[in-house]
Every structure is written in C-alpha cells, then in structure tokens.
Amino acid sequence: MFVIIKTIHSILKVLNSETHPSQLAAGVAFGLLVGLTPFLSLHNLIFFLIVCLFRINLSIFFLSTAFFSLIGWALDPLWDKIGYALLVNFKAARPVWIELSTGAIWPFFRFNNTIVIGSLAAGLVLFIPIWIETVILVKLYRRTLREQIRESKFLQILKATPFYTWYDKYQTLRQKFGLN
C-alpha cells in the first residue's frame, strides 16, 4: 500500500510540477526500451547512461521501466517470433546481423538472440510514437485534468486514509533532513 501511495504521489507530483512534458515523455520512452528488452543486456547500460546524461525524468524512467518489464516478460513469445523473422527471414538486413555478430565488441550485445532483437526492434519502433503521445497526454492533463484530480473524491479519500497520514509524516521527515 505504501509503495502504491508513493508511486501515485510521485506520478502526480511530477505531472503537477513544472517539468517539461518532453522530459517526462523521454522517461516513458526510454523506460519502454529498457523494460521491453531483457534487463541484463549491454544496450540497456547505454540507454541508462543516456538517461543520466540528458535531462530525462528519472522517476518516470524507473516507473516506466518497471511497468514495461511486466509487459515485455509477458510478450516474450511474440519477441521471439519477431526476432526470428528479422534475423532469419528478413534477408535484406542479414549483412547487418552478420556484422553485429562477427565484429569486435558487438557480439556482447547479443543482437543475434531472437528475444533481444525482437523486443529491441519493437521498442525502437514504438519509441517516437510513445514520446509524442506522452507529450500530448501530459499537456492535456495539465490543461484540463490537473484541477479536477486535485479536487477529486478519490484523492480526498486517499488523503483520509491512515496510510497517507504515515506517508505524509514520512515526507515531512525527509524534508526536515533535506532528503527531498
């Protein structure tokens, strides 16, 4: 419950902040890339460094990674099929695959694995649409839903629960010790 409240609180806090929508959208999109593909892959280290280097919202990135990891795990058979089609049936791209599996360093990325390449390809295809869509949705939220949610019964009830009271005390303590 504590985690749920913290998660909802974080999402709302970020959404209600002045963070630029594209930073939030980049967090969701990179979370999609890392989440859909097998977690312990070398390319994910590079994505993580990119996320750290640029002003991409880290909270949203981690939340998005956790969310898409579940989806990615459930869709493994689909990634396997897509990956097999790309690696074996899509002969036009074969020189690229051969280079990726024979060149120096590249083999460590395991792009010859059907699930790695299948999920990565799906992630890359969805990357831009998800980014744009998230930007639009954040803007829409801030313009129309922010005030409604702030005064919604759900949020009022949530604030009335003892869990929220504990969470509020926890946040106050964090602020007191300068951890926020």
Partner 1 sequence: MIIRLKVFIPVVLVIATTLIISFFFIDFWVKNWIENGISAVTGTKTDIRDLKLSFKNSSLKIRRLEIASKEKEFENFVEFEDVVVDFQTLPLLKKRFVIDEFSIEGIMWATPRRTSGKLLFQKKVDEQPSWISDLKNEAFESVKNEFEKMPISKLSEFRIPNDPREIVSSLDLKSTDAYKTVIEHAQELKTKWPERFKEIKNTSELEAKFKEAKALVENVPQNPQEILKRIEGIKSVIEFFQSEQKRVEGIIHDVKTDSAKIQADYDLATQALNDDFNRAKKLVSLDELNVGNISRILFGPEWLQKIDQVLKYHQMLRKALAKTEKDEEVQVRQRAKGRDIIFIVPKKQPSFVLAKSEFSVKSLDRGQKNLVTQIYELSLRDINSSPKLYGKPTSVDFKSEFKNAVIGGAEVQLFWDYTKEIPVDKYKADVKKIAAKSWPMGVPQYFPLRLSSGLANAATEFHFVGDDMKWLTKVQFSDVLWDFDNAPKQSIFFDLLRDVFSKIKNFHLDLELKSVGEKLDFNVKTDFDSAIQSALTAAIDKKLDEFKARLKLEIENRISQVKTQAMNSVTQYKEEVEKRAQNYLAQLTNYENETMKLEDQLKKRSQNAVQDKIKEGIKDIQKGDNPLKKMKLPF
Q: How far is the CB of 105 from partner 1 (least distance, A)?
A: 6
Q: Comparing C-alpha atoms, which of 60, 52, 113, 108 is closest to residue 82?
A: 113
Which residue number, 109 or 141, has a Cβ lying nearer to partner 1?
109
Q: Which DSSP letter does residue 1 get?
A: -
As a whole number of angstroms, the distance between CA 39 and CA 116 comes to: 10
Nearer to partner 1, 37 or 167 (CB): 37
Which amino acid is present at 62?
F
Taking the complex as a whole, the smallest distance from the CB of residue 155 to partner 1 amounts, in Å, to 31
Chain positions contacting partner 1, by CB under 8 A: 38, 45, 48-49, 52-55, 58, 76, 79-80, 83-84, 87-88, 94, 97-98, 101-105, 107-108, 110, 112-116, 118
Considering beta carbons, is residue 89 or 153 the nearer one to partner 1?
89
63 CB neighbour count, 10 Å cutoff = 19
Provide, rounded to whole angstroms, the least separation between the CB of residue 102 and partner 1: 5
> Nearest to residue 138, comparing CAs of 8, 5, 10, 19?
19
Q: How far is the CB of 120 from partner 1 (least distance, A)?
A: 12
Residues 6+ apart with CB under 8 A from 21: 134, 135, 138, 139, 142
- Tokens standing for 89? 């049936």
Nearest residue (CB) to partner 1, 3 versus 180: 180
Nearer to partner 1, 67 or 84 (CB): 84
Q: How far is the CB of 137 from partner 1 (least distance, A)?
A: 22
User: Which of these, 44, 54, 66, lies nearest to 22 by C-alpha position?
Assistant: 54
